[in-house]
Amino acid sequence: MSEQEDDIILSELDDNELVQQMYDDLYDGLKEEIEEAVEILLERGWAPYRILTEALVGGMTVVGNDFRDGILFVPEVLLAANAMKGGMFILKPLLAETGAPRVGKMVIGTVKGDIHDIGKNLVSMMMEGAGFEVVDLGINNAVETYLEALEAEKPDILGMSALLTTTMPYMKVVIDTMVEKQIRDDYIVLVGGAPLNEEFGKAIGADAYCRDAAVAVETAKEWVARKHNQMAAG
């Protein structure tokens, strides 16, 4: 984006300038620069969650808008995603380091036909940070993969992510199969992804739709507490 890229010394920028520069660097897919900037913000005392939301997710929103408008294309967005993952990789252990007690277990994966994983990874990181054990199935998961994981891992929660209008209906396929096999009520089912909304979550039979990772954590805590209370009540 900027022709003067080589002249910029990230550590000399103030916080606002640095975040703006991160937006540019994310846009340009400059992974090393993003990693360096994340380290600088950490040194300056920024909380990992603030870096994640204000710098990385904020920058990715700009990328998303230009992708939508046909200004950026898949190869460029892949580079941006790769740069974002570089930053997330540094933040992951810090977000998970809160020392929170284990509150529950979640199996999560992106649905069949969909390879978007940044949002799902963010949810996983935040859930781990809040004390959940997370089993991440990755991307492009068929109903069989979800069911095998539920059987093997016995989690409290099944989380599904979809970023495409063409793949979000697959969540219903998974939930319907769980109903068919009479295991639907054994799990809390949470769904998320940019094209979803609360109405869709209800319509497919999920327990809740989660707008973002922070909401996913709060919703998961609420539902797990409710489940434990019900079990305690007999």
| Spatial CB neighbours of 135, under 8 Å, sequence gap ≥ 6 | 105, 106, 107, 108, 149, 153, 155
**6 token code pair:** 């080589």
Choice between 11 and 165, CB closer to ligand B1M: 165
Q: How far is the CB of 184 from ligand B1M (least distance, A)?
A: 16
- From residue 222, alpha-carbon distances to 3, 116, 216 in Å are 49, 27, 10
Task: Give whichever of 13 and 85 is closer to ligand B1M, judged by the CB atom.
Answer: 85
Which one-letter amino acid corresponds to residue 65?
N
Rounded to the nearest whole angstrom, what is the least distance from the CB of residue 29 to ligand B1M in the complex?
A: 11
Q: Is 75 or 234 the residue whose CB approaches ligand B1M more closely?
A: 75
Q: How far is the CB of 4 from ligand B1M (least distance, A)?
A: 26
Smallest gap, in angstroms, from Cβ of residue 150 to ligand B1M?
14
Q: How far apart are CA 48 and CA 220, in angstroms?
A: 21
73 alpha-carbon distance from chain centroid: 22
Q: How far is the CB of 190 from ligand B1M (least distance, A)?
A: 4
Give the E-state strand segments of 18-156 in sequence order: 104-110, 132-136
78 vs 152, beta carbon nearer ligand B1M: 78
Residue ranges binding ligand B1M (CB under 6 A)? 57, 60, 63-64, 67-68, 74, 77-78, 81, 108, 113-120, 122-123, 159, 161, 163-165, 190-195, 210, 212-213, 216
